[in-house]
């Protein structure tokens, strides 16, 4: 059943682009070459985080905007971001956050939740939400004596006041479709929002004491709402003529002929356990990780129980081991060609992919480059 097919090219290609933008450009070019030679083969890009997948999809779907050399859509190659579909399951939570804000706009918590949704959907720039929500009234409706705010703040303010105006002017049954359009949902997401509207209407018709926010809160807390799907999901991940963008975790159990694994930097794989400054009042360790390590030791009947320092060191070791296991799973998804890369410059955080800095490659990639010096290193 073609369980061990012949390699395409060298079977393993290791590249070191200048930055993450060039990484995606090289992926696009290599995908175009492979598709021209093997149009019936299956291809995927495996990423460590959903935000990386969103970055890759955005560049490949908008090549002219980002200066990419290849337009995959014009070549008949569909770019399918699995994370986009998964995010549809969060549609009830996003709609709930906006409706709670419309219901109580002067609540700092409600305002911050709504602004976070707008930031996550890339409708407003990333900014200090705590600063904006400290004085909701001043943010939403500043007076003539208040200082003039910068453009990112004004952009967020316009979105929020627009939501409040819609809450007053639109009938209740039109509010969710309006919110869906405001969040710029794509076709399948809009269908999911319509399904959500129908469920809310049915629940309220059966119990008039419920409000839309009551029903939405129950739907979100139960986590039983299923988004609208097109076709079988597993088959959708491995279709011919498609470049699937998927996380390493979700790729378990699947395989493709050609697999691309970009952004292999030491910061993420294996990474390290980091304690934020605001959480260091107990010491240079994370209490949840220490507790998990101690519970694991107790379950395995290890005595004496490891102390704080030993448990923290064990937790960090377990994290490193898990990251390497995950990378191994990702590497073994490839049947004919494995393409791996670590850009010389990458973002510190993928919420701001334009802020590039020098990065150290993953130790696995460094070891492979030394073991196979004849591989494609550029």
> Residue 157: pLDDT above 80?
yes
Query: Which region, left, alpha or beta, applies to residue 276 given φ > 0 means left and ψ of -120 to 50 means alpha?
Result: beta
pTM: 0.63
Predicted confidence at residue 377, as pLDDT, reads: 42
pLDDT in tens, 177-196: 999 999 998 887 888 889 88
Q: What is the pLDDT of residue 2?
A: 60
Measured CA to CA, the distance from residue 46 to residue 251 in angstroms comes to 7
Residue predicted with more confidence, 334 or 286: 334
pLDDT, residue 248, reads 95
Identify the residue with better confidence: 229 or 377.
Answer: 229
Q: Is the pLDDT of residue 375 over 60?
A: no
Choose the weakest-confidence range: 136-145, 232-241, 243-252: 232-241
pLDDT at position 280 over 80: no
For 267-289, what is the mean pLDDT? Answer: 66
Q: Copy the structure tokens of residue 8.
A: 């395409």
Q: Is the pLDDT of residue 24 over 90?
A: yes
Confidence band, pLDDT 50/70/90 cuts, at residue 3: low
pLDDT value, residue 284:
59
Using pLDDT thresholds of 50, 70 and 90, give the confidence band for residue 147.
confident
pLDDT digits (tens, 9 = 90+) for 207-224: 888 899 998 888 888 756
List, for residues 68-122, the tens digit of each pLDDT value.
Answer: 999 999 999 999 998 776 555 678 999 999 999 999 999 999 999 999 999 988 8
Question: Is 222 buried (19+), middle (13-18) or exposed (0-12) by CB count in 10 A?
Answer: exposed
Distance CA 24, CA 43 (A): 14
Q: Does the pLDDT of residue 348 top 70, yes or no?
A: yes
Q: How many helices (H) and strands (E) does the chain have?
A: 16, 8
Q: pLDDT digits over 196-211, tens only?
A: 899 899 989 988 888 9
Candidate from 291-295, 318-322, 351-355 with smallest mean pLDDT: 291-295
pLDDT category, 42, cuts 50, 70, 90? very high
At residue 230 the predicted structure's pLDDT band, cuts being 50, 70 and 90, is low
Q: Closest by alpha carbon to 35, among 310, 268, 240?
A: 240
Alpha carbons 238 and 137: distance in angstroms, whole number: 50
More confident residue, 219 or 54: 54
Between 86 and 349, name the one with better pLDDT.
Answer: 349
3-state secondary structure at position 244: strand
CB 60 within 8 A of CB 72: yes
pLDDT > 90 in the chain, percent: 53
The confidence score (pLDDT) of residue 378 equals 44
Residue 260: name the closest of 47, 10, 37 by CA.
47
pLDDT at 158: 94
List the structure tokens of 165.
Answer: 């105006």
Strands 43-47 and 242-247 turn out to be parallel
Burial, 116: exposed, middle or buried (Cβ in 10 Å; 0-12, 13-18, 19+)? middle
């Amino acid at each position: 059943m073609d369980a061990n097919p012949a390699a395409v090219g060298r079977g393993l290609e290791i590249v070191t682009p200048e930055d993450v933008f060039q990484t995606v450009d090289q992926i696009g070019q290599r995908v175009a070459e492979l598709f021209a030679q093997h149009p019936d083969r299956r291809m995927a890009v495996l990423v460590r985080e959903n935000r990386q997948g969103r970055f890759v999809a955005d560049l490949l779907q908008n090549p002219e905007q980002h200066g990419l050399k290849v337009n995959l859509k014009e070549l008949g190659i569909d770019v399918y971001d699995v994370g986009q579909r998964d995010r549809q399951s969060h549609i009830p939570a996003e709609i709930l956050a906006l409706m709670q804000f419309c219901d109580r706009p002067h609540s700092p918590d409600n305002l911050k939740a709504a602004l976070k949704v707008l930031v996550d959907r890339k409708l407003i720039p990333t900014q200090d939400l705590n600063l904006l929500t400290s004085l909701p009234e001043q943010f939403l409706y500043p007076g003539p004596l208040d200082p003039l705010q910068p453009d990112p703040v004004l952009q967020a303010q316009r979105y929020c006041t627009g939501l409040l105006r819609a809450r007053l002017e639109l009938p209740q049954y039109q509010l969710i479709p309006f919110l869906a359009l405001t969040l710029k949902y794509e076709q399948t997401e809009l269908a999911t929002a319509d399904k959500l509207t129908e469920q809310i209407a049915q629940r309220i018709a059966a119990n008039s004491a419920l409000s839309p926010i009551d029903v939405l809160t129950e739907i979100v807390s139960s986590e039983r709402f299923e988004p609208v799907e097109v076709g079988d999901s597993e088959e959708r991940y491995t279709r011919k003529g498609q470049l699937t963008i998927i996380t390493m975790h979700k790729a378990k159990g699947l395989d493709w002929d050609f697999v691309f694994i970009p952004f292999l930097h030491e910061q993420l794989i294996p990474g390290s356990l980091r304690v934020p400054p605001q959480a260091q009042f107990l010491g240079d360790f994370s209490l949840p990780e220490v507790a998990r390590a101690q519970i694991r030791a107790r379950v395995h009947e290890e005595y004496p129980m490891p102390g704080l320092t030993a448990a923290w060191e064990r937790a960090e070791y377990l994290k490193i081991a898990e990251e390497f296991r995950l990378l191994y799973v990702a590497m073994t998804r490839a049947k004919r060609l494995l393409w791996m890369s670590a850009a010389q410059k990458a973002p510190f955080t993928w919420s701001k992919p334009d802020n590039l800095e020098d990065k150290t490659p993953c130790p696995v990639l460094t070891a492979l480059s030394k073991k196979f010096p004849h591989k494609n290193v550029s």
